[in-house]
Amino acid sequence: METAVSVYHQQVSQLLETLGIQPVNPAYSTGLQWGGQPSAPTRNIFSPIDGQLLASVKIADKDDYELVVEKAQEAFKLWRRIPAPQRGEIVRQIGQALRQHKEALGTLVTLEVGKILQEGLGEVQEMIDICDFATGLSRQLYGLTMHSERPEHRMYEQWHPLGIIGIISAFNFPVAVWSWNAMIAAVCGNVCIWKPSEKTPLCAIACQHIIGKVLKENHLPEGIFNLLIGGPSLGEMLARDSRLPLISATGSVRMGKKVAQAVAARLGKTILELGGNNAVIITEHANLDLAIRAVVFGAVGTCGQRCTTTRRLIVHEDVYDDVRDHLVKVYQRIKIGNPLEPDTLVGPLIDAAAVSNFQKALEQVQAEGGKLLIGGKLIPTLGPNYVEPAIVEAENHYPTVQEETFAPILYLIKYRGHVQNAIDLQNNVRQGLSSAIFTDHLRQAETFLSAWGSDCGIANVNIGTSGAEIGGAFGGEKETGGGRESGSDAWKAYMRRQTNTINFSSSLPLAQGIKFEI
C-alpha cells in the first residue's frame, strides 16, 4: 500500500495544479476571482488514506462572507433575466468541463475522502448526469393553466427563481450532492453560495475553478456560483441571513435541527438531507444471491459513510441462518486497503473521530446484548483510519441500533411471521431515508410499497438502499428532514410559485358571485 499511495502523492501537486489549486488557497472564490485576508487562518487538509498533507486552505471571515453575498446579489440581477434554455446551455458546458476533468477530480475525491476510486469517479459522473438532467429541465419548467369561474378571464401559474441559494454539503459526497442543488437551482435562475465540509474543501475548490472558466468564457459574472471555506460559524451565517431565501443542508440530524431553527426564525425555506438508519428486509421468498450482493455494497461502500448506507438487515427466520453464514463468509474476503488500488472494496474512515465513534458503537451494542459476528478491529498496519467492517446480531430496539453510526456496522435482526412484522421493525426508528425489500413474492413487494408499508422517502424492491439515480427525487421523512433534491419535480423547491389572473373583458366580475357596486 505504501508504495502505491506514495506514487499517487508524488503526483498530488500536479493533480491539484491540473484542477487549478495551489498549495495554499484563499478563503473564498467567486468564479476565478480569489480573495481573503493575507493574515486569515488556514486549515490543513490531510488525506485519510495515509495522513499526508494535501494542502492548506484559508478560512473565510465575516468580511469575506459579506463580499460574496454582495457579488451573488449582483449576479442574480443578471442571471434571472437570461432565458432558462440559455442558462441550461451554461450548465451543459459545465457538464462538458467536468467530463474533461473526470479522472483528476475523481482521484481528488478519493484522496480527500478515502472512498475507493470507482466511487470517486462515480461521484463525478453523478455531477455530469445532473448537468445533463438540468439542461433538459431548462426547457421544462412548466406551470399550469386553470379555468376561471369568471367570464373572459384566464388563470395560470408560473415559477420564478428565489434568489441566492445557500448550500451546506457534507464530507462523504464532497461534490455530487452540491451539484444536485447547484445545477438545478442555476437553470431555475438562482445563484448559489456553497459551504462545503471543512474536512473536504479541495474538491469544492477544484469544482469552483472548473465552473469559473466556463463562466469567464461566456462573459458571465463570477457570482453565479460562489464558494466559502470555513467551519460551523459560516453555516450559521448562511442560515441566519434573510438575503438567502433557501438553505439546502446535508449532514447530521443535530446540525439539521440547528439550521432548521435558524432559517424558520426568519421564515425562510429549507431542504434538509439528514440522518439515515436504513434497513433491508430479506423475506423467505428472496433471491438470496441477489440480496447478499446488494447488502454488502450497501453496508461497506464508502466505509459505511453514506446517508443511504445499509445499517440494519431484517431477515425472515426461515432464511436467517443461511443469510448470516453467507454474509460472514463474504466479509472474510473483503479487501480493505488503499482505495486507489482497483481490487480494494473498503478504504479508510474519514478521521480519528469516526474511528472512535465506530469503536464506541460496537462496545455499546454489545453491552446492550448484541453479538459481534465478525470485524470491528482496527488495522494499524494500514493506517490509523482503517477498520474491519462489522456484523452484529442485535435487536431493533437496542438504543445503539436506533442511532445512526457513520461507520461500517451492519446490525442483523431476525423477524418471524408476516412481512408486515418486518416492515414495522424497519419503520420503528426516528429516521426515514432509504429502505429496501428482497422478495420474489408480488404481495410482499406491493405491501412494502403501500401506504402501510415503508415510511421512507426511498423504497426499493430487489435493489439495495444506496446507489440512487439522479432522475428520481432524493430525500427522506421523519428526522431525515423531509427535503427532496435531484430529479423528478424537486426543482420546484428552488422557485417561487405565482398565480396569475388575466381579465380580458370590459367588466369586473368578482369571484364567488360577490356583488360590489360603487
For 301, 323, 331, 408, 425, the CA distances from 437, given in Å and listed in that order, are: 19, 14, 21, 20, 13
In 368-427, the DSSP E strands lie at 371-374, 390-393, 409-415
CA pair distance 111, 46, nearest whole angstrom: 9
Bridging pattern class, strands 24-25 and 53-58: parallel
Q: How many C-alpha atoms does 492 have within 13 Å on its Cβ side?
A: 12
Q: Which own/partner pairs from 140-148 qualify as long-range (CB within 8 Å, at least 24 positions apart)?
A: 141/84, 141/187, 141/188, 141/491, 141/495, 148/501
C-alpha cell at 446: 406491493
Residues forming a β-bridge with 271: 248
Q: Which residues contact 284 (CB under 8 A, 6 or more apart)?
A: 316, 318, 319
CA pair distance 1, 144, nearest whole angstrom: 58
Rg (CA), the chain: 25
C-alpha cell at 209: 475553478
Show the DSSP H helices in 281-351 as ranges: 288-300, 320-333
Q: What is the number of other CB atoms lying within 10 angstroms of the CB of residue 6? A: 12
Q: Which residues contact 38 (CB under 8 A, 6 or more apart)?
A: none
Q: How far apart are the first and last CA of the chain?
A: 87
Distance of CA 439 to the CA centre of its chain: 28
CA pair distance 505, 509, nearest whole angstrom: 9
C-beta separation of 340 from 117 below 8 A: yes
Per DSSP, the residues of 206-275 read HHHHHHHHHHHHTT--GGGEEEE---HHHHHHHHH-TT-SEEEEES-HHHHHHHHHHHHHTT-EEEEE--
Catalytic residues, which ones? 273, 307
User: Taking Cα atoms as reference points, which of 410, 388, 373 lies closest to residue 336?
Assistant: 388
Number of residues in the chain: 518
Q: Which residues contact 299 (CB under 8 A, 6 or more apart)?
A: 309, 310, 311, 313, 389, 408, 410
Q: What is the number of other CB atoms lying within 10 angstroms of the CB of residue 30? A: 26
CA pair distance 117, 516, nearest whole angstrom: 71
